[in-house]
Amino acid sequence: MGRSEVPALRDVCLEIPAGEFVVFLGPSGSGKTTLLNLIGGLDTASSGQIRVAGRSLVDLTEAALTTYRREVIGFVFQFFNLVPTLTARENVELVAELSPAPRDSGEVLAAVGLDERQHHFPGALSGGEQQRVAIARALVKRPALILADEPTGSLDFETAVRVLKVLQAACREMGHGVLLVTHNQEIVHMADRVVRMHSGQIAEVLTNDAPADPEALQW
Amino acid sequence: MVSRLHTKLLRDIRAGFWQILAISVVAGLGVAVYQGLMVAYENQKLSYAISYDVLRFADVTVAMKRAPRSVVRQMAQVPGVRRVEGRIVLDLEVEQGPGRRPRVTGRLVTLPDARESEVNRVRLLEGRLHSGGPRRDVLLEASFARKHHYRPGDSLYPVLEGKRVAFQVVGIVSSPEYIYPVQSKQFLMPTPELFGVLFVRQSQVESLLGMSGSINELVFLTHPAAADRVGYTVMNRLRAYGAQDPMTRKEQPSNLLLQSDLDGYRPMAVTMPLLFLGTAALAVSMVLARWAQAQRGQIGFLRASGFRPIAILLHFLELGLVAGAGGGVLGSLLGAQFARWIGAMYDTLLHIPFQARDAHPEIMLTGVLLSVICCGLGAFGPARQAALLPPAEAMRGSAPAQPRLAARIRLPLIIALPLRNLLRRPLRTLGTASGVASSVMLLVLSGALLDSMDHSLGTYLNDIQHYDLIVGFAAPEAESRVYHIGRWPGVSRAEPTLELPVRLGHAGKEEETVVIGMTPGARLRRLPGPEGRAVFPLPGGVLFTNALVHKLTLERGDWLRLEYTQNTREFRARTFLRSGPPVNQPVGNPVYVRMDDLQRRFGRPLGLPPNSVTGALLAVEPAFEAGVRRRLNTMEGVSLVQSKQELVDQINELTAYSKAFMTLFVVFACAMAFAVTYTATDSVLWERTRELATLRTLGFSQGRVALLVSLENMAMAGLGAVGGLWPGAFLADALLNASQTEGFTTRIFVEPQTYVLSAVGPFLLVFIAQWPGLRRIRSLDLAATIRLRDE
């Protein structure tokens, strides 16, 4: 039996203004993570154009994509991907080393509410705390764009809200654009823009003139 | 500030400390073996070179029947000669006082009366050198003196012209000619209990032998590469004085055997460390592959954050380099001790006039570098794989498995799970099994070397030599004398033996050895042929050892030239005999001819009496042995009496250090097998901590988890054991073939228990090695472990 190619994304056309909080919503397999990976330079598209902060990602070499990720993107993942042998602060400092002008790691951790926990190892932190370390790690190098893939997917409601507040603050107060992938319908209320995806295509794009505070969310 | 990637590295090392240490130990053992053997090798070479240089060891020696001393001055004019000394050298019987073996063979070697010798000087170890005056002083060569417990002031009695003459020992010396104190090239091992060298003043020997103003040997120092030319010029000019073929330094018996020993040593010094270091590289690769697998999520994140592939590559490479550096340091410390130990072994075996004891920092540094390079090479593969892992794929967690075969396994879960784990990533399973296989290989290899040595000596001592006493005559005697001894009370059998030094020639190659005459029906010396069947020379035929087959490129049916080595103008003996089947004789390289053939072809041309023999082999009832010995010792014309037990002791003493080496290799191989097995099992546990913790949270008992892990590890050990047995035996064979020396021809032999222990050992080691890892899992904070996405 031969292998058949299944396109993860088709006919996607989207423009996102800088500094917005954008939520990509859709069921599993709808292509939202693939789109996020393309924007983050983790995957490359077989055809089409992707431009982020004035750069075209299509023709970039692997080395150039690495530089792009280093300079432009901050990642937050569902399963945190912390280095378990480094403390919270060291995890942040690890990424800070990549930036020519990073934020102070301690201050960033304080900003995400982990001032007291910065010398703890990931194993000693709760899931929410680990995710906030992951956000601090993304923030420390002052990325133009934070890409968060299901950042609350493995968290309980209260912890998730806390994480979302940190992400919203990163957008509103620090000026980072945030692209958040989720299948949680409630989260769309806090977004500036909502991109609904289905079967590898954009079903609709909605703008939200009055984004909600995460604490007002319910699920 | 230390980069956080380095902090991670340090913490990873701390977390996997025992694995890294185990790898370092394996590499360290390789470095220790390399450094120990190479330093000892270089020091031995240097010791010989210094001793030869300082004591002016002759470049060429020409023996004559007798010549006037004036030839010394004439020969000094021969082009290429730097220095020349004339001397008298004479083999004779030496009687010893009470409490010592009554009679031994001595070699008198003269030294100038009032000055140091120009060539072949001696080094005083104890007492003093000769003084002037009429007293008969003798300097004894150290190995003989030590064996017979001589001290300055003791006396011994050479028999000169039939007269027993008392000499007083004034000093114990070492000599460059007798570092390996053998009587001639035909004697392949030192026999200090039977043979000793006595250095006496020239004038005293001249007067005792009536050789005033005469010499019978010239020793030369020559200009570089002039030794052959000088030797042949001198021989041709001194033909009238019975000059024999010149003997260059290369052919000098002691030097020849020392070189042979060194040559046999080198393959071991190269191969063994390479095997250890290769295994260390494999262990590094095995551990890092699993670490990289366990850290896929972290690698993915690092790459996603903008760390370049080279940073990931270096990060993992550094782990290998750290293990290698650790191995280098451990190995150089252990290697220095090892080298000292080998040096001390040589000290007890040989009396080298000047001992080099250099530390050889260049060898130490090479050892450390080899360790770092090998571990670095081992780390490179998994490090490169980690570096090239696409970040998106890395983030997805586990690598794509190959589940087809694994999925087909329909067995109880407790068996299916471990089997599926092994089959899911067959390459990695093979990698880990290779680590175990390499340790099994080394176990078999070192065990086989020891077995082969024991077996070879056993063959020589038990299958070939069946006598209780061997008797040597000072000069050839009539065969009837042996039959007379055979009628003594307690002597159940007496067989004559005739031994003559010969030069063998075939296909343009020559080899000096001894030809032994065998009487039909001989039982006290049996010759095992191909497949162990006893063989006996046919009329006109000659039997030779397996070693000579290679040295002379002989085949059964070839004509072999035998020439007496001390041919002179008056007596020359040379004959051609047809080669029979090879004899499996591991010690010595004699050739065997029928007694009547040898007597006819050599006896008459050499002017020997009819039916001459040079000794006898005796079977003696144990109760009578001491009495028979006493009687033989007082018998006129008997120069040697040696019991089988003395031969056994002599061989054991000589091979003690080789056996100690082999035993040490076995110990090293066991240590390495444990370290590798520990690394293999612990890295499996390390990689699967989260999975095993999950099983425990699901309600699997600690025992069930241990059983799952044990079955997987045991299966891996089984694969390794099967994979390591044959290569181990193959390597042992190759190494033995490359390490043959002049005196010993060891053939591969592996005891069944070596195979069994080598194969079973890994299972036992797995059981022990996985215990710390299982303990770690038992004491895990399950909640914390499961909370972590990546461990």
pLDDT one-digit tens code per residue, B159-195: 988 888 999 999 999 999 999 998 887 777 788 888 9
Sheet of B247-248: strands edge to edge?
B81-87, B214-222, B60-68, B247-248
Contact B304 A90 (CB under 8 A): no
Are B577 and B559 in contact by the 8 Å Cβ rule? The answer is yes
The last residue of a domain, from among B231, B256, B281 = B256
- How near does any CA of chain A get to the CA of B788, in Å? 6
Q: Please state, for a pLDDT cut of 70, what percent of chain B lies above it.
A: 96
Domain with B719, as residue range(s), is 402-464+645-791
Structural contact between residues B605 and B572, judged by C-beta atoms closer than 8 angstroms: yes
A43 and chain B in contact, CB less than 8 A: yes
Residues B109 and B127 in one domain: yes
Identify whether B757 is part of a domain: yes
Task: List the structure tokens of B203.
Answer: 């004038």
Model confidence at A2, pLDDT cuts 50, 70, 90, reads very low
What one-character-per-residue DSSP string does A138-167 give?
HHTT--SEEEEESTTTTS-HHHHHHHHHHH
Is there a domain that residue B630 lies in?
no
Q: Which of B213, B240, B256 is the last residue of a domain?
A: B256
Report, as an integer, the average pLDDT of B773-789: 68
Contact in structure between B442 and B29 (CB atoms under 8 Å) = no
Domain closes at, from B361, B383, B400:
B400
Residues B393 and B274 in one domain: yes
State the CB neighbour count (10 A cutoff) for residue B636: 9
Distance CA B449, CA A13 (A): 73
- pLDDT, one tens digit per residue, over A43-83 is 888 888 899 888 888 888 888 988 999 899 998 887 788 88
Residues in A touching B300 (Cβ below 8 Å): 81
Pair (B40, B81) in one structural domain: no
Tokens of B559: 């004509």
Domain-located, residue B484: no
Predicted confidence (pLDDT) per residue in B342-360, tens digit: 888 888 888 899 988 888 9
> Does residue B471 lie in a domain region?
no
Q: How many percent of chain B have pLDDT more than 90?
A: 37
Using a CB-CB cut-off of 8 Å, the residues of chain A touching B304 are 40, 42, 69, 73, 75
Answer for the pair B440, B732: CB distance below 8 angstroms, yes or no.
no
Q: How confident is the model at residue B637 (pLDDT cuts 50, 70, 90)?
A: confident
User: Is B430 in CB contact (< 8 Å) with chain A?
Assistant: no
Quick: pLDDT tens for A145-192: 999 998 888 778 888 888 899 889 889 888 899 999 998 888 999 999
What's the CA gap between A121 and B642, in Å, rounded?
77
Q: Please check whether residues B226 and B95 belong to one and the same domain.
A: yes
User: What pairs with residue B134 in β-bridges?
Assistant: none
What is the CATH number that goes with domain A21-47+55-210? 3.40.50.300
Phi, psi for B234 (deg, rounded to 5): -65, -45
Could you give the 3-state DSSP secondary structure of residue B163? Answer: strand
Q: Are B401 and B425 in contact (CB under 8 A)?
A: yes
Contact A66 B307 (CB under 8 A): yes
Transcribe B14-30 into DSSP letters: HHTHHHHHHHHHHHHHH
Residue in A95, A96, A132, A91 with CA at minimum distance from that of residue A111? A132
B791 has pLDDT over 80: no
Task: Return the closest-CA partner of residue B292 out of B420, B418, B179, B382.
Answer: B382
**B392 reaches A (C-beta below 8 A):** yes
pLDDT at position B548? 84
Do B112 and B221 fall within a single domain? yes
Touching check for B310 and chain A: CB below 8 Å? no
Residue B333 has pLDDT above 90, yes or no: yes
Maximum average pLDDT range among B14-18, B700-704, B728-732: B728-732
Residue B636 lies in a domain: no
B4–A84: do the CB atoms touch at under 8 Å? no
CA atoms lying within 13 Å on the CB side of residue A118:
19
Please give the backbone phi and psi of residue B289, each rounded to the nearest 5 degrees, phi first.
-60, -40
pLDDT of residue B653: 82
- pLDDT tens for B367-394 read 999 999 999 999 999 999 999 988 888 7
pLDDT of residue B592 exceeding 90, the answer is yes
Question: What are the φ/ψ torsions at residue B185 (nearest 5 degrees)?
Answer: -65, -25
Residue B693 pLDDT? 76
> pLDDT at position B297, please?
86
Contact A93 B4 (CB under 8 A): yes
pLDDT tens sequence across B403-442: 566 566 667 777 777 887 788 778 778 877 888 888 888 8
Q: Is the pLDDT at A3 greater than 60, yes or no?
A: no
Residue contact A123–B306, C-beta within 8 A:
no
Domain ranges for chain A = 21-47+55-210
Chain A contact for B691, CB < 8 A?
no
Tell whether A90 is within 8 A of chain B (Cβ).
yes
Per the structure block, which two tokens stand in for B280? 């260390």
B205 and B68 assigned to the same domain: yes
In a domain, B474, yes or no: no
Examine the pLDDT at B132 and tell me if it is beyond 80: no
Q: Which of B593, B544, B588, B549 is nearest to B573 (CA)?
A: B593
Summarised one tens digit per residue, pLDDT across range B135-161 is 899 999 999 999 999 999 999 999 988
Decide if B85 contacts B120 (C-beta within 8 A): yes
Number of separate domains in chain B: 4
Q: Do B499 and B600 belong together in one domain?
A: yes
- 3-class secondary structure, B310: helix
Q: Residue B487: CB partners within 8 Å, gap ≥ 6?
A: none
Asked whether residue B556 is domain-assigned, the answer is: yes
pLDDT class of B569 with cuts at 50, 70, 90: low
Is residue B623 scored above 50 in pLDDT? yes
Per-residue burial over B110-149, b = 16 or more CB atoms within 10 Å of its CB, e = otherwise: bbeeeeebbbbbbbebbbeebeeeeebbbbbbbbbbbbbe
Q: For the complex shown, is ipTM > 0.85? A: no
- Across the interface, whether the CB atoms of B787 and A127 are under 8 A apart is answered yes
CA distance B83 to B221: 5
Structure tokens at B474: 């000072």
Residue B697 or B630, more confident: B630
pLDDT, one tens digit per residue, over B522-564 is 899 999 888 778 889 989 899 988 888 888 888 888 888 888 8
- Residue A1: the pLDDT is 42
The CA distance from B389 to B133, in Å, is 90
Reference B38, options B241, B338, B476; nearest CA is: B338
B280 with B320, same domain: the answer is yes
8 Å CB contact of B4 and A70: no
| Residues B36/B332, Cβ–Cβ less than 8 Å | no
User: Using CA of residue A148, residue A150, residue A156, residue A158, what is the dihedral sign?
Assistant: positive
Closest to B721 measured CA to CA, from B770, B667, B677, B671: B677
Same domain, yes or no: B126 and B274: no
Residue type, B116: E
Whether B29 and B72 share a structural domain: no
Q: Residue A199, exposed/middle/buried by CB under 10 A (0-12, 13-18, 19+)?
A: middle
Task: Give domain status of residue B627, yes or no.
Answer: no
Residue B143 and residue B268 in one domain: no
B504 and B566 both lie in a single domain: yes
